[in-house]
Amino acid sequence: MICNCYHETRGESFEGMVAVNKVVLSRSEDDAYPSSICGVVYDDAQFSWTQDRIGNNINATKDEDKEALDMCKKAVNLSVKEGPNDVIYYYNPSIARPYWARRMTHCGKVGNHTFLVPRGESCPKKLGVIGKYSSSGSSSQTKKSTGAK
């Protein structure tokens, strides 16, 4: 999850990192996705950094890369403590304009990423840091069968 945070959110705010991490956590609890974090991250065509043929090892030799990696570690820890928020879709509108986003409810934007839920579902009150630790997750909603990724 730290690798995904680093590759997906490097250069983003801490809040943006947490919001992306919560999508990964939410997907792991959604029955349309694999149940493990690694399964979610490496699920086919879900995260662009896993699809290219470029080496994706983190080589944090520059100060800004070290800082991004450290922030990702902290963001992942907080995300896991607070739990998922039931948002399972996001994209970066400056990089992509996915066709499926038109059929979704837009919950908001954090940094460079727009976060969405299936039409008819409620957006969480906060996409990123909620400010308290939750041991039981973020909601009482059950797993959803959206059928699409």
The model's pLDDT over 47-101, given as tens digits with 9 standing for 90+, comes to 878 887 666 777 777 888 889 899 999 999 999 999 999 999 999 999 989 999 9
Amino acid, res. 39:
G
Q: Is residue 27, in this structure, part of any structural domain at all?
A: yes
Q: Is residue 31, in this structure, part of any structural domain at all?
A: yes
Residue 126 scores a pLDDT above 60:
yes
pLDDT value at residue 135: 35
CATH number of the domain enclosing 88? 1.10.10.2520
Domain of 96? Answer: 2-118
CA distance 6 to 132: 23
Strands 113-118 and 104-110: antiparallel
Q: Is residue 43, in this structure, part of any structural domain at all?
A: yes
Q: Is residue 125, in this structure, part of any structural domain at all?
A: no
In the chain, how many domains are there? 1
Residue 136 scores a pLDDT above 80:
no
Residue 38 scores a pLDDT above 70:
yes
By CB neighbour count within 10 A (0-12 exposed, 13-18 middle, 19+ buried), where does 97 fall?
A: exposed
pLDDT value at residue 145: 38
pLDDT value at residue 139: 36
Q: What is the mean pLDDT of residues 14-34?
A: 95
